[in-house]
Amino acid sequence: MKAIRILVLESNDKSISQIIEILRNNDFLVDICSNNDEFLESIYYNLYDLYLLNINEEKAIPRFQLIKLLNECHDMTMKMVIASISSMIKPSFISGCDECVIRNVDEDEIILRIKALIRRQFKVHSDFITLKKNIKYGIFNKKILVDNDEIILGEKPLLILDYLLKFRDIFVSSEDLEKEVYPACSDSKNGVIRFHIHKIRQLLGNDIILSNRVSGYKINI
């Protein structure tokens, strides 16, 4: 199952094509765009777990500006830069990326670094988070296992659970949940979030999510 979705901003060079092939061979779902406008259009209509941005000397400034824009808009998606030369590493981090590697990185390293980024978001060192004694959640395959049997939660409730687990130390408002589980093009309402929260509680127990009328929702693990 290809659960982790990555948006690649590439530059039509051979090395990036090889990285894209590596990602797909390791069961990542990959979408590709070739410029900032296509990138912004993609994230308007779709949700992603990771942005992978190829940056060379020619396109450095507009792509650094894109990273800064994403952070200014509070886009919490992890941002990883593939830099053409080592002098691009420092400005990549200054612009606000979460990780940066040189383009000739080998297959094992690129996969390990991506998985480390995803684990960092969830604040774990393994591929699973224990929700209850007999319930665990796979952060890469996005599966919920109860006594090692998978239960089906549905796409949107699963996205809500995923986000609450990433930010499990705080309450998250309905408005923030809506932004994170629906693309920007969606006209969904808060009532839909409440419906999905109810479904999560039905399947995993009423105590799995705490609610506060003012602050929103918080995972209880």
Kindly indicate the confidence band of residue 11, based on its pLDDT and cuts at 50, 70 and 90.
low
5-122 CATH: 3.40.50.2300
Mean pLDDT of 191-200: 90
Question: Which residue from 28, 44, 26 is spatially nearest to 36, judged by alpha carbons?
Answer: 44
> Residues 196, 188: contact at Cβ < 8 Å?
no
Q: Greater confidence, 183 or 128?
A: 128
DSSP 146-188: ETTEEE---HHHHHHHHHHHHTTTS-B-HHHHHHHHS-TT---
CATH 1.10.10.10 in the chain: give the residue spans. 128-219
For 98, which DSSP code? Answer: S
As a whole number of angstroms, the distance between CA 178 and CA 184 comes to: 9
CATH 3.20.20.480 fits 128-219, yes or no: no
Please state, rounded to an integer, the average pLDDT across all residues of the chain.
Answer: 90
Task: Tell me 197's DSSP state.
Answer: H
Question: Does 1 score more than 50 pLDDT?
Answer: no
Neighbours of 45 (CB within 10 A): 10
Token pair 């990138």 is found at 39
pLDDT in tens, 90-124: 999 999 999 999 888 788 899 999 999 999 999 99
- Is the whole model's pTM more than 0.85, yes or no? yes
- CATH 3.40.50.2300-classified regions of the chain: 5-122
pLDDT in tens, 133-154: 899 999 999 999 999 899 999 8
18-to-55, 80, 176, 184 alpha-carbon distances in Å = 15, 16, 36, 31
